């Protein structure tokens, strides 16, 4: 157990500093994300626009924990199909125009 954690930190911390991304390990090295991509792509539950006009304030993108460009999906009137989305609803809570459901 300690060896696994040591290897994780030995890879994750330098990678985060080199890539200047707090989720660099998850995006590049983590094998779990590969397994989760297919079910996430096929999921029926996704963040979607409400039909109200997006004001392009960028609040949803700033609040997104997974660094997804939510605003571009909402502005195009499409559901967020990025497999990184964890459905935390932070973007929805941050949207002052209530353009996300």
Q: Report pLDDT digits (tens) over 7-24.
A: 989 999 999 999 998 888
Whether pLDDT at 78 is above 90: yes
Rounded-to-integer distance, Cα 66 and Cα 80, Å: 12
Listed as own residue / partner, the contacts of 51-55 with beta carbons closer than 8 Å and 24 or more positions apart are 52/97, 52/98, 52/99, 53/97, 53/99, 54/97, 54/99, 55/96, 55/97, 55/99
End-to-end CA gap in the chain? 41
According to the model, what pLDDT value does residue 12 have?
Answer: 93
Residue 69 · residue 16 · CB < 8 Å: no
List domains and CATH numbers for the chain.
Answer: 45-101 (3.30.70.20)
| Average pLDDT over the chain, rounded to an integer | 92
Band (pLDDT 50/70/90 cuts) for residue 33 is confident
Q: What's the pTM?
A: 0.77
Whether pLDDT at 73 is above 90: yes
Residue 79 · residue 73 · CB < 8 Å: yes
């Amino acid at each position: 157990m300690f060896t696994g954690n040591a290897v994780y930190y030995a890879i994750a911390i330098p990678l985060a500093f080199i890539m200047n991304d707090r989720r660099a390990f998850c995006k590049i090295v983590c094998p779990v994300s590969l397994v989760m991509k297919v079910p996430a792509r096929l999921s029926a539950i996704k963040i979607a626009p409400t039909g109200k006009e997006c004001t392009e304030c960028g609040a949803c993108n700033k609040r997104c924990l997974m660094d997804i460009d939510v605003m571009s999906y909402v502005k195009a009137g499409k559901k967020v199909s990025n497999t990184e989305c964890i459905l935390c609803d932070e973007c929805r809570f941050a949207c002052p125009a209530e353009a996300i459901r």
